[in-house]
Amino acid sequence: ISVNDICKDGGIFKKILVEGEGWQNPKDLDEVFVKYEASLEDGTVVSKSDGVEFTVQDGYFCPALSKAVKTMKKGERVLLTVKPQYAFGETGKVASRDEGGVPPNAILQINLELISWKIVSEVTNDKKVLKRILKEGEGYERPNDGALVKVKLIGKLQDGTVFVKKGHDEEEPFEFKIDEEQVVDGLDKAVKKMKKGEIALITIQPEYAFGVFDSPQELAIVPGNSIVYYEVELVSFVKEKESWDMNTQEKIEAAGKKKEEGNVLFKAGKYVRASKRYEKAVSFIEYDSSFSDDEKQQVKLLKVSCNLNNAACKLKLKEYKEAAKLCSKVLEIDSKNVKALYRRAQAYIQLVDLDLAELDI
C-alpha cells in the first residue's frame, strides 16, 4: 500500500485503506461530509464523528483534515499520521466534555473517510455569488445569453423568511430570458452556469441582489443590504440561436436586433450591457464570405454603426484603448468616417496621445 507525504514536508502521511471512485477531489469552497476517528499513538481516542459536514477551507478539528480531504476521492478511506504542526502543536488541546485532551507535541493517527461532498463554485470573480450543487444536472449544455429558461425557485432571507416561490405546488415553472434583467443579476449569472435538471443553492450578496434599499417582493419585503439565498432547479432551457445555425439573411436580422437592443440599453445608461449587445451583433456578421453583394453592403453599414456605438460605450466606461481600437476598425472600412475620427481623438486625448489625437482632428 502506498503512503503519501501530502504536504511534502513529512507533516502528514496518508495511507489509503479503501480506494475512492472517480477522479475528482474537493476544492476549497466545497462542503465535505466525512467520518473520522482521531487517536493518540497509544490508541486513546480523542475525537470521533460518524458524520460531520464542513467547508474545506474553513477546516474542522485540526488542520490535517482539510489538507487531507483535498487529496481524496469520493468513498476513499485513509489512515493519516499527523505531526504536531498539522495537529495541535506545542500547546496541545485541553479535554472537553465531548473530546479527549491532546498533549503538547503529540502525533495523531486519524482514520478518515470522505463520504461525499457538495461542489461550490464562484459564479462571479469577487466571490459575491456562490453556487452550491445539491443535485447534478445532465449533459454538458448550459444556457447562453438570450436563452429562455424554465426554473422552479424559492428565495429566502438569512433568517429563513421566504420572499418568493415559483414553480412549486403544481404551479408552472417560472420562465425568464438570460441577460434581460428579468431577475436579479446574481440569479441570472448563476442560472447561466447550470445544466438541465441541476438543483443548486445560490448565495447572493446584496450588490448582485436587491442592493441597499428595501425591496417589496411577492411574499415578503427584502430589507436593504440583504444576502439572499435561492434554491433553484433548472427544469429546461432553449438556447438563443447561434450564428453557425443561421443563413446569411438571419445573421443580418439577428445583428440588427442586437444593435437595436444595444441602443435601448445605451439610452438607459447601461453601457456595459449595451457594449455586450454591440459585440454580439458584430459576431453574427464577422465573417462575410457567404454574403451576396447586396448583403455585404448591409453588413458593412451594420459593422460601422455597431463598432461606433460600442466605441461610445467604451468612452463612457473610460476604456479608452478599447474605444480607439473600435474606431480604427471602422476606419478600415470607411477611412473618412467623421464620428470614428472624432471618437478616436477623444480616446487618444484621454490616453495622453496628443500627437495622434491631432492627426485625427
Domain ranges of the chain: 3-117, 121-238, 243-360
Q: Which of 127, 143, 262 is nearest to 208 (CA)?
A: 127
> Which CATH fold would you assign to the domain 121-238?
Chitinase A; domain 3 (3.10.50)
Q: Which of 106, 171, 182 is nearest to 148 (CA)?
A: 182
Distance of CA 201 to the CA centre of its chain: 13
CATH class of 243-360: mainly alpha
The predicted pLDDT at position 1 comes to: 60
Q: Which residues, 6+ apart, have CB-to-CB distance to 172 below 8 Å?
A: none
Residues (pLDDT < 70) of the chain are: 1, 288, 353-359, 361
Taking phi over 0 as left and psi of -120 to 50 as alpha, with beta for the rest, 92 belongs to left
Cα-trace Rg, the chain: 28
State how far the Cα of 133 lies from the Cα of 150, in Å rounded to an integer: 18
Whole-structure pTM value: 0.69
State how far the Cα of 18 lies from the Cα of 32, in Å rounded to an integer: 18
Other CB atoms within 10 Å distance of the CB of residue 157: 17
State how far the Cα of 345 lies from the Cα of 20, in Å rounded to an integer: 62
Q: Sign of torsion, CA 214 217 220 222? A: negative
> Which CATH fold would you assign to the domain 3-117?
Chitinase A; domain 3 (3.10.50)
The predicted pLDDT at position 356 comes to: 66
SS (H, E, C) 184-241: CHHHHHHHCCCCECCEEEEEECHHHCCCCCCEECCCCEECCCCCEEEEEEEEEEECCC
Tell me, yes or no, if the two domains 3-117 and 121-238 fold the same way: yes
The predicted pLDDT at position 183 comes to: 95
The predicted pLDDT at position 331 comes to: 95
The predicted pLDDT at position 357 comes to: 62
Measured distance between the N- and C-terminal CA atoms of the chain, rounded to whole angstroms: 76
∠ CA 129-135-140, nearest 5°, is 80
The predicted pLDDT at position 353 comes to: 67
44 in Cβ contact with 96 (< 8 Å): no
Residue type, 3: V
CA distances from 305 to 247, 262, 301, 311, 337 (A): 22, 11, 6, 10, 11
